[in-house]
Structure 1
Amino acid sequence: MSRISESDEVIAQKALRLLELTSLNADDTAERIVALCQKGLTPVGDVAAICVLPRFAGLARRTLDGLFARDIKVVAAVNFPSGGAGIATVESETEAAILTGADEIDLVFPFRAQMAGNRHIGRAMVAACKALCGERATLTVTLETGVLRDPQTIHDVCRTVIREGAAFLKTSTGKQIISTTPQAVRILIEAIAELGPHVGFKAAGNVRSLEEARAYIEMAQARFGPFWLETGKMRLGAASLLDDLLVQLGVSP
């Protein structure tokens, strides 16, 4: 049952622990990524992960290690944001990111190919990335639900991704007109309940405020229970959410 009576402070603390602090801009610089890593260590607790482009994976890992924050994961987003690269390119991105320090790979599913009727490439790409990750890295697959849009299509992609070994399903890159919605999160949660109780999910894109974070936390909690709210099962991917959470927790951003 959803614990809708939980205070803003309690929800903010939960959201902070689940936060995947993100910077995935074409103009990102080394200085910006170092600052992002530093921001992830707050007076009221550390975020779960830092998500960056593959070329910054090594820098993020070294920076976090230098801050004695080895528990904060480094996530490298590959095939980002268009989902349009070929499998060989994605494999190259993935291998390089892992070798330089990524703990997790976030693969953007080839959503436009899926919409065009090519269902083979998505399955093959997820399988290829999973094989490269092996025991070295955790695999997230970003579905881009705002483009896939149709509930049955989203559910079918979830099934494919789970069967090919993804550890997390993620809603969105945040780079499309429609990003995360409660309906999309509900579809992912139900697919996990049906096929992949070992699989987690990430709500990302349009998660900017405490109230938006609350909605997704309560949906997960209602379906799976409070013990499911840990970083190996749920994340909130966001660039600006942290500031709102800190204000709720009495800390100046």
Structure 2
Amino acid sequence: MTDLSSVARRALPLLDLTDLSDGCTDAAIDALCARAETPVGNVAAVCVFPAFVARAKKTLAGTGIAVATVVNFPAGGDDTVAVEAETDKALADGADEIDLVMPYRAFLAGRPGFAETQIVRVKRRLGAAHKLKVILETGRLVEPAAIRAASDLALGAGADFIKTSTGKVDVNATPAAAEIMLTAIRDSGRPAGFKAAGGIRTAADAAVYLDLADRILGPDWASARTFRFGASGLLDDLLAQLGHGAAAKPSAY
């Protein structure tokens, strides 16, 4: 039987605590940043819309918590110049990590070179201190072969992490997609990370993904440098498993 308190202790510092809700406000960002510092340790990062990067950066100064933001979100569009400009503004405002939605529609339409070029061009704008997470939107890629090809493409284009989902479609993170992506990271032979996002609400959910990472990449692989959970509600259940609140209801895949 899985020891959920051990899972919670392991998962909490891997969390990108997220608010990408429609109608997000300054007050919501302040609350998010306050939640990111918990009685049992800090999360890895907060993930917010670009408009809130500067506020989050100022609020979290000195905490060691990174500020992540999203670009080309959520549609994964084709306007690379606009995506570059969005990235530049986010970096100027203090973003530490950029979560880029790969232009997955172009990829699915037989234009992988376009998708690769956009990733390369965004990656070039990031200095060594900034991480690029490429969102594949696996729920739209659907087929295992497409998920593997997109993973290989993003890793080859310089992604520091590959991420499952935006959380804005009907199918987001799944263990099946995660297994393909983690295997691609292993096979790439380069230091890259994995982020599971969308629909991960409980410590039991988190355990599924950590177990996959342990099996495919080894029990010492997953750390904040290589593994993240993107979620808004997961923190509450992790804290509950550690004696700080009420546990969430189980999820079903």
TM-score in terms of structure 1 length: 0.94
Q: 1:87 aligns with which of 80, 93, 97?
A: 80
Q: Is residue 117 from structure 1 mapped to residue 110 from structure 2 by the alignment?
A: yes
| 1:145 paired residue number | 138
* Corresponding residue of 1:206: 199
Amino acid in the other structure paired with 1:40:
A
SS of equivalent to 2:171: coil
**Deviations along 1:113-133, whole A, 9 cap, x unmatched?**
212222222111100110001
1:14 to 10, 14, 35: 10
1:44 paired to 2:37: no
Shift of residue 85, structure 1, vs aligned partner: 4.6
Divergent runs of 4+, >4 A = none
Residue in structure 1 matched with residue 70 of structure 2 by the alignment: 77
Shift of 1:197: 3.6
Percentage of identical aligned residues = 43
Aligned: 1:23 with 2:23: no
**Alignment correspondent of 1:234:** 227
The equivalent of 1:172 in structure 2 is 165
How far residue 224 of structure 1 moved from its aligned partner, in angstroms, is 1.7
Supply the distance in 2 between the matched residues of 1:74 and 1:64 (Cα, whole angstroms).
Answer: 8
What residue is the counterpart of 1:155 in the other structure?
148
What root-mean-square deviation, in Å, do the aligned CA atoms of Structure 1 and Structure 2 show? 1.2
CA displacement at 1:230 relative to structure 2? 0.7
Distance in 1 (CA, whole Å) between partners of 2:34 and 2:46 is: 10
Is this contact kept in 2: 1:98–1:136, CA < 8 A?
Answer: no
1:32 maps to amino acid: A
What SS does the corresponding residue of 2:191 show, helix, strand or coil? coil
The range that moved more, 164-173 or 188-197, is: 188-197
- The 8 Å contact of residues 14 and 223 in structure 2, kept in 1 or not, is answered as yes
1:54–1:77 CA contact under 8 A, matched in 2: yes
Q: List alignment gaps of at least 5 residues for structure 1.
A: none
Asked if 1 retains the 8 angstrom alpha-carbon contact of 2:78 and 2:106, the reply is no
What stretches of structure 2 of length at least 5 have no aligned partner?
247-253
TM-aligned CA deviation for residue 26 of structure 1: 2.8
Q: 2:127 aligns with which of 127, 130, 134?
A: 134
* Cross-structure match for 2:250: none
Deviations 1:125-146, CA, capped at 9 Å, x for gaps = 1001100013241110000000
2:55 aligned residue: 59
The secondary structure found in structure 2 opposite 1:227 is coil
Between stretches 134-143 and 13-22, larger displacement belongs to 134-143
Residues 209, 241 of structure 1: 8 Å contact kept:
yes
Instruction: Please report how far the alpha carbon of residue 172 of structure 1 lies from its aligned counterpart in structure 2 after TM superposition.
Output: 0.5
d(CA) in 2 for partners of 1:155 and 1:229? 20
SS of corresponding position for 2:67: strand
With the length of structure 2 as denominator, give the TM-score of the two structures: 0.94
Q: Distance in 1 between matches of 2:200 and 2:126?
A: 28
